[in-house]
Amino acid sequence: MSTTRHSRLLPLNRCGGASLDVVQRLSDRVLGAVTPVDAQSLLTDWERILDITPTADSNYQQRLENVLFKLTETGGLSIPYFTRLASRLGYTIAIDELRPFRTGVSRCGESMIHHDVIWAWRVNIVGIQVKQYVFRTGLSAVGERLLSFGDAVIETVFNDLKPAHTFCYFSYQER
């Protein structure tokens, strides 16, 4: 009778062992995700926590690089910091701090700019081709701009890290 009882318990033990193996594999996966380098399928959690939205065509290496980049960036307030940041991302830029027209400082022929322009940066991005979206009847919606363009990567990084009081205007120039 003890032999019969043992044969009935054997399949349950195998089932329980298989469940414990699955738990072990899942816990190893979670342990690997402590750092993004070994996160594998849990990289999406790192992206969610860091507020990173990868593009649809991003591969795993690009996504991992974006996570690591975001973790190592501390932010900065200086123009040289942002210039170095852009070069690390592969962009060639120059940042202009605009100034309003002032009597005694400005000259004839300079443009008259609003006094709040001191809180704006013009980020000149050189050498990339930017896709343009022109307003088209039947394809565009009411309220959309007549022309829109931009590079989501650099604009998102700059707007995330720029000083809070600063507005960034992006200017794209082909070589």
* pLDDT tens for each residue of 1-47: 555 555 555 555 666 677 777 777 777 666 656 677 777 777 888 88
- The parent domain of residue 50 ranges over 30-72
* pLDDT tens for each residue of 62-121: 888 888 878 877 667 788 989 988 888 889 999 998 887 777 887 888 777 777 777 888
120 and 96 housed in the same domain: yes
66 and 115 housed in the same domain: no
116 and 149 housed in the same domain: yes
Inside any domain, residue 111:
yes
101 and 139 housed in the same domain: yes
57 and 81 housed in the same domain: no
Count the domains in the chain.
2
131 and 64 housed in the same domain: no
85 and 65 housed in the same domain: no
Strand duo 147-149 + 120-126: pairing: unpaired
Residue 153 token pair: 């990567």
47 and 83 housed in the same domain: no
Cα 20 to chain center, whole Å?
A: 38
Taking residues 142-171, report their average pLDDT. 85
User: How far is CA 14 from each of CA 10, 19, 131, rounded to the nearest angstrom?
Assistant: 6, 9, 58
pTM for the predicted model, two decimal places: 0.55
Inside any domain, residue 168:
yes
Predicted confidence band of residue 164 (pLDDT cuts 50, 70, 90): confident
Inside any domain, residue 39:
yes
168 and 83 housed in the same domain: yes
118 and 59 housed in the same domain: no
Inside any domain, residue 23:
no
Q: How far apart are CA 123 and CA 128, in angstroms?
A: 13
